[in-house]
Amino acid sequence: MINGQATAYKRLYWWETRLAGIIASNFRVQHYYNNRVLKGEKRRKSCVIFFGFENDVQLTKEMFVLAYDAILLYAERYVDQYYEKNQITNRFNNLTRSIKNSYMKGFLDGLQDKFKEQLSQLKAEHGLMVVKPYEVEKAYEELSKTFGKPRKINIPNISDMIAYQEGHKDGHSIDYTKSTIDDEIF
């Protein structure tokens, strides 16, 4: 078993923790957050850690990074289009955050739905299921005894249903391959 750090130590946003859970639940690994106060810092920083067999952890980290890049790119693009379409020339922090959060929540729900459909299709066609290996579950159970008290993650409410729906559509339809996302970025 290995631990694979997927993010730098920083303040994790709600969508990063939710993305980690979605990815981990579909790639035969567990995930958790490691917290520490870095030298010279006053506040606690966290990072996402994936736990499991080495090949599974590596694949999960790659998928996490691809989905992470995609959600940032698509959310920024959606916000830009929102302001342009509505002919709003001055950006407002609260409006931007609200639109972006609604879009990201939809994107993550779309991604989760896409994975569920893929798993159902694999099961129907090949009788395959993505199951966390027993060894991973058992080792994680032991590891989790060392964890502190879990903290509640505040997920913002959906404030713009159109942004949510667009996010859901994009999260569900994007092809999560590095070449596709790279093509989108450049």
Domain map (residue ranges) of the chain: 2-181
The residue ranges of DSSP E strands in 10-125, in sequence order, are: 30-37, 44-52
Q: What is the pLDDT of residues 130-178, one digit of tens each?
A: 678 889 999 999 988 888 777 788 888 898 999 999 999 999 998 765 5
Q: Give me the pLDDT at residue 174, please.
A: 84
Whole-angstrom Cα distance, residue 68 to residue 66? 5
102 pLDDT above the threshold of 50: yes
The pTM (predicted TM-score) of the whole model is 0.86
Portion of the chain with pLDDT greater than 70, in percent: 91
Q: What is the pLDDT of residues 111-121, one digit of tens each?
A: 999 988 888 88
User: Tell me, what amino acid is at 106?
Assistant: G
Q: Which DSSP helix (H) or strand (E) runs through 25?
A: helix 14-25
Q: Read off the tokens for 65.
A: 């990074």
pLDDT band at 38; cut points 50, 70, 90: confident
Neighbours of 110 (CB within 10 A): 21
